[in-house]
Amino acid sequence: MNFTLKVWRQQNAKAKGHFETYKVSNISPDTSFLEMLDILNDQLIREGNDPVAVNKGCKNSGPIAFDHDCREGICGMCSLYINGHPHGPDSEITTCQLHMRKFKDGDTITIEPWRSAGFPIIKDLVVNRGAFDKILQAGGFISVNAGSAQDANAIPIPKQKADESMDAAACVGCGACVATCKNGSAMLFVAARVSSLALLPQGRPEAARRAKAMVAKMDELGFGACTNTQACQSECPKGITVSHIARLNREFLCAKLKD
């Protein structure tokens, strides 16, 4: 398969970015999207080291910087906006789980970084998602000493609540919800973190403090407000729903009323 790639290039956070066009050929349909970018980078490195290619005026800005780690859909680092969709056109997957068979031979593919004030661009397709870490540090934890693991039946938890908590905990913090939201809101991320703890007995003692602290930090870091368009839900690679945002709102309002 052959593709034309329009890739966002930006030298650093202060530089002006632009799109550059590249062509890749003989790509197997079973190649993952990140593997395809690896192939392109190998091609760019060879062209940059080839005096003949340079003399022919071959345009080369060096290999493309992009983020990745596990390549198993669990780290959330592969934050790419592909043809207008976070993580690409497939549903409930991260970029590393996207394969080139999802595209047609000869397609033009536009690749951009996340677009959000909360995620400033570092270089090319790499953004700084450290804001999510700061939100978690503000309250996404249980501070008491829980001791060693108890027997599974020692703290009875209804299966529905346990399932909801596990669904919320599936959030990998990739930022697709922020990237797809017209307001750049991080509500789905914060809501997932709050829900995963608020639904369990161990998380209840600090529920009020947690909701207030995480929402305050989210606002401080410049993320937008939620207007319930549900774009975040439709693009979340882990299928996390806006019902968790409703729970976050309840937790936050109850905490404020208690104050």
Model confidence, pTM: 0.89
Last residue of a domain, one of 87, 121, 155: 121
Distances (CA, A) of 79 to 21, 95, 197, 200: 20, 7, 26, 30
Both 139 and 183 in one domain: the answer is yes
Percent of the chain with pLDDT over 70: 94
Both 80 and 28 in one domain: the answer is yes
What residues contact residue 230 under an 8 Å CB cut-off, 6+ apart? 242
Both 148 and 101 in one domain: the answer is no
Question: Please, which pLDDT band fits residue 154 given cuts at 50, 70 and 90?
Answer: confident
Both 134 and 45 in one domain: the answer is no
Separation between Cα atoms, residue 235 and residue 193, nearest integer Å: 18
Separation between Cα atoms, residue 191 and residue 168, nearest integer Å: 8
3-class state of residue 3 by DSSP: strand
For residue 147, the model assigns a pLDDT of 72
What pLDDT digit, counting tens, does each position of 164-213 carry? Answer: 999 999 999 999 999 999 999 999 999 999 999 999 988 989 999 999 99
For residue 155, the model assigns a pLDDT of 78
Both 162 and 75 in one domain: the answer is no
Q: What is the CATH number of the domain that holds 106?
A: 3.10.20.30
Both 101 and 159 in one domain: the answer is no
Last residue of a domain, one of 76, 105, 121: 121
What pLDDT digit, counting tens, does each position of 77-118 carry? Answer: 998 999 999 999 999 999 999 999 999 999 999 999 999 989
Last residue of a domain, one of 121, 141, 159: 121
Both 252 and 135 in one domain: the answer is yes
Of 122, 121, 70, nearest to 237 by C-alpha is 70
Residues 125, 41: contact at Cβ < 8 Å? no
Residues 179, 81: contact at Cβ < 8 Å? yes
Over residues 242-258, the mean pLDDT reads 94
Both 189 and 94 in one domain: the answer is no
Q: What is the CATH number of the domain that holds 209?
A: 1.10.1060.10
Overall number of domains in the chain: 2
* DSSP-derived secondary structure for 6-63: EEEE-SSSSSPPEEEEEEE-S--TT-BHHHHHHHHHHHHHHHHH-HHHHHTT-----S
| Domain around 98 | 3-121
Question: Please, which pLDDT band fits residue 53 given cuts at 50, 70 and 90?
Answer: very low
| N residues, the chain | 259
Question: Please, which pLDDT band fits residue 55 given cuts at 50, 70 and 90?
Answer: very low
Both 39 and 141 in one domain: the answer is no
Both 50 and 135 in one domain: the answer is no
Both 77 and 54 in one domain: the answer is yes
DSSP designation for 97: G
Both 60 and 157 in one domain: the answer is no
Place of tokens 């060693």: 148
